[in-house]
A and B are shown apart, each in its own frame.
Chain A
Amino acid sequence: MSNRLVMSVRRSALLNRQLPEELAELLRQEGVDPSKAWLSAEADLNLSGAYERVFLLAESDRLLTVAHPRDGFPRPIRLDIPRQALKEIRTRRGVGGGFLEALVEGIYVEILAYSNAQADTFHKVSKKLQDWLAGKEASTGPEDDYDPRKCPICGMTLRFKGDTCPRCVDRGAILTRVLRLMKPYTGWAILMFALLMVVVALQMIPPRLQKLLVDKALLTPAEPIPLATREMWLFWLVLAWLGVRVLASIGRMVNGRLSSFVATQITHDMRNSVLSRLTNLSVNYHDNNSVGRLISRVSYDTEVFGQFVRQVTQGFLAQIVMLTVTGVMLFSISWKLAMWTLLPAPFVLLASSFYWRRLYPRYHRVWDSRSRMTGSLSSILSGIRVVKAFGQEHREQQRFSRSSGYYRNSSRNVAYATSIFNPSMAFLFQVGGLVAWYVGGGEIIRQEGLTLGGLVGFSAYLGMFYAPLTNLTQLTDWLTRFFTASQRTFEIIDTAPEIVESENPKPLPAPRGGVVFENVTFGYSRHDPVIKNVSFEIRPGEYVGIVGKSGSGKTTLVNLLARFYDVDEGRVLIDGVDVRELDIEDVRKSIGVVLQEPFLFRGTIYANITYGRREATPEQVIAAAKVANSHDFILRQPLGYDTWVGERGAGLSGGEKQRVSIARALLYDPKILVLDEATSNVDTESEQLIQKALGRVTTGRTTIAIAHRLSTLKSANHILVVDGGQIVEQGSHEELMERGGLYHRLVKIQTELSREPTVDRLAEEDRRKK
C-alpha cells in the first residue's frame, strides 16, 4: 500500500509541532530524525494519566510516541510501531480525557492519552492516520488549525459551532443598543422628557412660596404691615401653591401614561425579537439549553427594557434631574448650609461601590435559581401522568420544594443585603438634615442673613434633595439587574444560528426527491461521531427503509437530510446539490416528516392539519384527511375539524394524533417524505389504518421510512441497515434475508416476538370465534 504524504510548505501549528531541541537531539542519537515526520502532535498527558508533554510522530513507515526520559522511561522513545503492524487507529473517550488507540495484532493498544482540551486535535490526528493507513493522501497544513468550536478572537472553547463567545461579546454597547431600541419612539421620548422638565420646574416653586408665606404673611414683621395685606399674601400664595400642585399632578399623570405605553411596547417588541431568534436558532442550541431557562429569558428578562423606559421618565433620570435642580436651589439660598448637607456624599459613594461588587453575583444566583425552579415545575407538569402512574407525587413535591427553597434563599440573601443597605443610607442623609437645622438655626439666632422663611424653604428643598438621593442609592441595585438581564437577552439575540444560509442560496423550485449521502461523518458531541463515513443514494420516487438498533444513527441521517445539523465531513445532496448551498426554506419545504411522537399544537384539528400550509382550502384539508384515514374520526368529534385539541394533542388517542400528523405532512405535499418510526407507538388496528394511509401517501414521492417493525418495510425498494453509525448492509428485503446478516437476525427476533400473544391478537381471535 502506498500513499502520497504531503507536508505543506505552510505548516499546521497543531499537527506539525516543533519538538524541544533537547528532545530532538536525544531522538537523533537514537537514530530518529524528527524532521522526517509528516505529522507531529503534542499530547498533554502520559499513559499513566499524569501531565507530561508527549509527542506523536508519524513517519512514512512507522508511528512513534516520544517524551523526555524520566523514571521508568530512560529512553525518549515510548512506543515504536511499524506501519504494517497497524490495522486501525481510533480515539476512545474516557472521563475528562481520551486515548488514541491502534489495532495491533488483534488488540486495541493505547498509544497516547490526552485531556479533553486536546480532544479535537486528536480526533483530527486519528482521521489523518486512518487516511495514511488506508493509503490515501495524508497531508497537514494551516487549514487543520481551524476549529469552528473555538472563538477566533480569544481561542476559548465554545459550546457549539457559531456560538457567541461570552468573553468577546461587546458589553460596552449594551446601553447604546437599548437607546437604539427606543429610536422608533424618539418623538414620544422627547415629549416625555419635556414633560419631566416641566414637572420638575413646577416642583421647585412651592418651597419658594413657603419662604414667602413665612416671611411675608406668617411672621410678625419688624415694620408693621396692614393685616389685610398679610391676609391677601396668605390667600394668593396658598392659591398659587394649589395651582402649581394641580399642574404638577397633571404633568405626572400624562407622563406616567406615556411611559407605560412606550415601556410595554418595548418589552413586547423585545419578547418578539428574542422568540424570533430562538425559533431561528439551530436544533443544537435548543439541545444545549433547557426549556425552563429559555422561558425565563423570554418572559422575565425582557421586562427590564420596559423598566428602563420607566426609570428614564419617572425613576432615576427624574431623580437625577431633581437632585441637580434642588442642589442649585439649596446653594442659591445658602451656599454655606448647602455645603454641610453634602457631608454624607463620600460615604454614599463608598457604600455604593461595595454594594455593586458584593451584590452582582447574588443576582445571578437569584436568576439561576428561578430558572431552575421554573424548569423543575415544567418537568413535573409535563410528566404529570408518569408522576401519578408511579405514585411519586410526594417525591416531586419535595423536589419542587427544594428548588423553591433555593430560590427563596437566594432571593432572601439579596433582600437581606438590600434591607440593611437602604435604611443605612437613609440614616446618613437624615443626619445631614439635622446638621442643616443646627447650622441654619444658629445663623438665624445670630441674625447672619438667613431668615426663618429661608430655612423653611431650605428644609423643603432638602427633603426634595434627600428623597432622590436616597432612591439613587438603589440605582446600583437596579443597574445591576438591568445589565444582567439585558446582557442575557442580547446573548440570545447575538447568538449566530449554527445553520447558516449560503450567501447565494440555490433555489429548489421543483424538487425531484433524489438524495445522496457522500462520505458523511457527523457527531453531536465534539469527538464522538454518530455517523461515520456513510454513503448511499436514493433515487427520486424510491421507497427506502432504514433499520437498525436503537442509537445506531437512523434518526441522525434524517436530521442531516433536513439540515437540522450540518455534517462534519462529506456532503448531503438533494437533487445533486449540497443542502448547505440550497435555500433552507426550500430544503424544509421539500421534506415532510412524520415523527414517532406526533406533536400537535394547542388549537383546532383544522389548524393542526394546515400547520405547514395555511392557505389550504377546506376541500384540500378534507382530501388530505381522507387519504390519512383521519376524516372519519375527525367527524366523530363534537366540532369536527373545528374541535380544539389540548397541549400536545391531548384529547386524541396516539393513533388519531399520528393520522392527523400524516394528514399534515400530506397537505404539505413534500417531495421527500420521512416516516420516523411512525407506527411504533400505536396499536395494531391503528397501525393498519396508518399503513393503509401511508401506502397512499408515499405514491409518487421519495419515502424514507425509519422502521421499528420490519414487516412494514417489505414493500421498500431498498433497505439500509445501520449499525454503529455505518451502513453495514443494503439491498431489498429478499436480498438481505438471503444474506443472513444483521437484517436477517433482526427479522428473526421480531418474528419470534410476534408469535407471543398480544391483546390485539387475542381480541382478533375472539372476534373470529364469535
Chain B
Amino acid sequence: MTEPNQNPDAGTPDPTQVRFLTPELCRIHLGSHGALHVTVKDERIYGGVYAVHGFPVGYPQGYISLIYTGGEAGDIEIGIIRDLGEFPPDDAELIREALRRRFFVHTITRIRHIGWKYGYINMEVDTDKGPVSFMMRGRHNNAVDFGPKGKVLIDVDDNRYLIPDVEQLPTRQKHDFRRYIYW
C-alpha cells in the first residue's frame, strides 16, 4: 500500500499549463481504502484521484483528466492522459474502472415499450445493467445528442440512458422511438 506524500503542496501542478501524463512520467495504482493514486516521477504521490472524460463521445479512450482534491485549493488537475492505450493494461484498467464509476450511464440494448402519458415519455428498456423502466420529460434537454447518431436520455431523477446509435435500433424500435423523440 502506497501512502501519499506528507507535504501536500510539494510539486503542485501549474494550473495554467497543460501537462500530458505518459507511462514514463507516472504510475497509476491503488492506495489505502482502495483510493486511486497517481505517482508522478520526481514530483509526488497524489491520493484520492478521480478521472474525467474530456471528450466522452469523440475520444472515449483519450484526453482523460486526472484530478485530486488539494486542500483549500479545491480540485486540481494532475494532468491529462492523451491515449489510454499507451499505458500498461493494469494501469489503464484502473483508469477505466474510475471512469465507469464516475459515468454511471445505462446503455440501452432494447426498447421494450415506449409511450406517452401526461406529458411524460414512459420507457421500458433492457440495458447493460439489466431491465429498467423510467419516465422522462419529453423535452429537448432531456434527450440530448451523443455524437452524430446517438442520444442520451435523462429521466426525472437525472439518471442517464445511452443509445449509442439510434439508426442501429431494429426498425420497429427505431420507428417507435422516433415517434416520441424525433429531434
Contact = CB atoms under 8 A, between A and B. Distances in A.
A107 B4 contact: yes
B48 interface: yes
A503 interface: no
Given A48-B97, A107-B48, A171-B118, A96 B103 contact: yes
User: In this complex, which of A45, A51, A107, A487 has the most chain B Cβ atoms within 10 angstroms of its Cβ?
Assistant: A107
B70 to A, nearest CB: 10
A368 B121 CA distance: 14
Range class of the A interface residue count: 35 or more
A171 B160 CA distance: 29
Residue of B50, B97, B105, B158 with most partner-chain A CB within 10 A: B158
B140 interface: yes
Contacts of B159: 96-97, 115-117
A106 B34 contact: no
Contacts of A45: 104
A360 interface: yes
Contacts of B89: none
Contacts of B139: 368
Contacts of A101: 48
A402 to B, nearest CB: 10
Interface in B81-130: 97, 100-106, 116-120, 129-130
A336 to B, nearest CB: 46
B157 interface: yes
B35 interface: yes
B54 interface: no
Contact of A167 (B33, B35, B118, B158): B118
B61 to A, nearest CB: 17
B8 interface: yes
B138 interface: yes
Contacts of A116: 104, 157-159
A344 to B, nearest CB: 29
A410 B116 CA distance: 17
A109 B33 contact: yes
A51 B130 contact: yes
Interface stretch (B20-28, B165-173, B175-183): B175-183
Contact of A49 (B104, B135, B179): B104
Nearest to B101: A49
Contacts of B182: 365, 369, 406, 409-410
A169 B118 contact: yes
B69 interface: yes
A364 B135 CA distance: 17
A610 B31 CA distance: 65
B103 A166 contact: no
Contacts of A104: 32-33
A94 B130 CA distance: 21
Interface in A341-382: 360-362, 364-365, 368-369, 372
Contacts of A115: 104, 157, 159
A156 interface: yes
A115 B159 CA distance: 7
Contacts of A106: 4, 6, 8, 47
Contacts of A362: 179
B160 A95 contact: yes
A313 B172 CA distance: 43
B101 A372 contact: no
Q: Which of A169, A365, A369, A724 has the most CB of B within 10 A?
A: A365
B104 A94 contact: yes
B156 interface: yes
Nearest to B106: A96
Given A116-B157, A364-B116, A372 B140 contact: yes
A109 B138 CA distance: 38
B176 to A, nearest CB: 10
Contacts of B138: 364, 368
A488 B105 CA distance: 31
Given A110-B35, A166-B120, A372-B140, A95 B103 contact: yes
A50 interface: yes
Given A106-B8, A169-B118, A119 B140 contact: no
A47 B101 CA distance: 7
A99 B49 CA distance: 13
A16 to B, nearest CB: 22
Most buried by B among A96, A115, A368, A369: A96
B74 interface: yes
B3 interface: yes
A365 B100 CA distance: 35
A183 to B, nearest CB: 27
A376 to B, nearest CB: 11
A109 B97 CA distance: 15
Contacts of A365: 182
A108 interface: yes
A351 B64 CA distance: 56
15 contacts: A95-B160, A96-B105, A96-B158, A96-B159, A104-B33, A107-B31, A108-B68, A110-B34, A110-B35, A113-B101, A157-B156, A368-B139, A368-B183, A372-B183, A526-B158
Across chains A and B, which 10 residue pairs bring their CB atoms closest together, nearest first? A107-B47, A107-B48, A97-B104, A108-B48, A96-B104, A116-B158, A96-B160, A117-B157, A109-B33, A94-B102
Interface of B: 3-4, 6, 8, 31-35, 47-48, 50, 68-69, 74, 97, 100-106, 116-120, 129-130, 135, 137-140, 156-160, 179-180, 182-183
Interface of A: 45, 47-51, 79, 81, 92, 94-97, 99, 101, 104-110, 113, 115-117, 119, 156-157, 159, 166-167, 169, 171, 360-362, 364-365, 368-369, 372, 406, 409-410, 487-488, 491, 526, 724
